[in-house]
């Protein structure tokens, strides 16, 4: 009992501390960036910043995709429930806003999030009878089909490009390591690790070795490569540049 309460309080405290930490990190970013850049050995500097740019690109695209995806699903859920409140039973209208917000937030959990979001919608329908239950099931199924075949491929394809089996594996590992927060961050962390690995593969490979398969994140778009397109050998001293 004590361990459960302590774990719950630690989770809540973590969700409170993280936004504060991010705020101060962004507030002092220029000075932190300069200090971090100066602390790097000259021969590592270019590679370290290349890896950071890859991670920033993946996480930035993931965040934008999740915001668009969650907002779209929430809007579709809200409008669908309002329609059911007019055509089937008014009970859907009373919970439309709450259920729509919940559906949008649960989009942070790939695959299992939409399934969890469908449960309270169907339960609300069950309180109004069989017809309302069927209508709620059809609505959630339609939204999931819209999400799976249109929204996710269109919005999130550029952010991760992970196979469904890799998604499930990443979710399991992320949840086991970090609980709910680990499950939410599993996809961008996995995608970033994949692209960083492929960048390092090119950096460490001798000339003439085939490069690793291309990814959604091009490590050399930010000027990491030399003018002829080949990266300098790992360990080469690179002149420091102004950092953002």
Q: Does residue 86 surpass a pLDDT of 70? A: yes
Mean pLDDT, range 159-166, rounded to an integer: 76
Express as a percent the part of the chain with pLDDT over 90. Answer: 32
Query: What is the residue extent of each domain of the chain?
Result: 57-158, 161-202
Half-sphere exposure of 156 (CA within 13 A, CB side): 27
Q: What are the pLDDT digits (tens) for 109-138?
A: 877 889 999 999 999 999 999 999 999 999
Q: Does residue 140 surpass a pLDDT of 80? A: yes
Helices 2-27, 164-204: inter-axial angle, 10-degree rounding: 50
Q: What is the mean pLDDT of the chain?
A: 79
Q: How confident is the model at residue 156 (pLDDT cuts 50, 70, 90)?
A: low
Q: State how far the alpha carbon of 201 is from the alpha carbons of 56, 104, 170, 178, 212, in Å.
A: 19, 38, 22, 28, 7
Total-model pTM: 0.67
Mean pLDDT, range 180-209, rounded to an integer: 85
């Amino acid at each position: 009992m004590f361990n459960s309460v302590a774990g719950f309080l630690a989770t809540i405290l973590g969700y409170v501390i993280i936004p504060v930490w991010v705020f101060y990190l962004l507030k002092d970013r220029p000075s932190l960036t300069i200090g971090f850049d100066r602390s790097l050995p000259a021969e590592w500097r270019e590679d370290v910043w290349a890896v950071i740019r890859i991670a920033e690109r993946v996480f930035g695209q993931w965040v934008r995709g999740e915001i668009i995806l969650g907002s779209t699903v929430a809007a579709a859920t809200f409008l669908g429930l309002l329609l059911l409140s007019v055509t089937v039973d008014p009970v859907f209208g009373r919970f439309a806003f709450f259920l729509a917000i919940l559906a949008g937030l649960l989009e942070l959990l790939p695959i299992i999030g939409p399934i969890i979001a469908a449960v309270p919608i169907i339960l609300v329908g069950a309180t109004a009878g069989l017809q309302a239950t069927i209508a709620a099931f059809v609505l959630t199924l339609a939204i999931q089909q819209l999400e799976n075949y249109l929204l996710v491929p269109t919005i999130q394809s550029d952010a991760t490009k992970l196979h469904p089996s890799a998604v499930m594996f990443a979710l399991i590992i992320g949840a086991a390591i970090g609980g709910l927060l680990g499950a939410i961050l599993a996809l961008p962390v996995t995608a970033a690790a994949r692209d960083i690995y492929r960048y390092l593969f090119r950096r460490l490979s001798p000339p003439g070795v085939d490069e690793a398969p291309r990814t959604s994140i091009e490590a050399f778009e930010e000027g990491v490569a030399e003018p002829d397109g080949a990266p300098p050998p790992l360990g080469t001293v690179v002149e420091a540049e102004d950092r953002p």
